[in-house]
């Protein structure tokens, strides 16, 4: 299994827009073959901080999602809502 975590900081005043975009991305992620889990969380201490978590069956499934048309279409809206770049980490199960 592959777990991808993405930490994001919404631009000032764009929290609701980012939240909606992330929820839409979660929906398309779950529709991707090999995606077992996709969820978004908001920090309890800073309403501008978000965490996106996705689990994929393997690296091929993760790559297929990352290179999908639906993800490519969502990316500009996502990046437009951010302050800075997302912090992405990819983990492999032990």
Q: Where are the domains of the chain?
A: 2-92
List pLDDT tens digits, range 72-90: 898 999 999 999 999 999 9
Q: What are the structure tokens assigned to 53, written together?
A: 């978590």
- Say what the pTM is: 0.90
Q: How far is CA 37 from the centre of its chain?
A: 11
Name the maximum alpha-carbon separation found in the chain. 40
DSSP β-ladder status, 87-92 and 49-56: unpaired
Q: What is the pLDDT of residue 50?
A: 97
Q: What are the structure tokens assigned to 56, written together?
A: 């994929």
Q: Please check whether residue 9 is in contact with residue 49, taking contact to mean a CB–CB distance below 8 angstroms.
A: yes
Class of domain 2-92: alpha beta
Q: What is the pLDDT of residue 76?
A: 94
List pLDDT tens digits, range 14-73: 999 999 999 998 888 888 889 999 999 999 999 999 999 999 999 999 999 888 888 889
């Amino acid at each position: 299994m592959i777990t991808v975590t993405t930490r994001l900081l919404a631009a000032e005043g764009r929290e609701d827009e980012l939240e909606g975009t992330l929820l839409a991305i979660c929906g398309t992620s779950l529709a991707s073959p090999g995606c077992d889990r996709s969820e978004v969380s908001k920090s309890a201490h800073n309403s501008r901080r978000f965490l996106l978590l996705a689990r994929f069956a393997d690296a091929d499934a993760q790559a297929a999602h990352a290179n999908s048309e639906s993800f490519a279409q969502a990316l500009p809206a996502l990046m437009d809502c951010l302050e800075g770049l997302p912090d992405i980490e990819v983990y492999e199960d032990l």
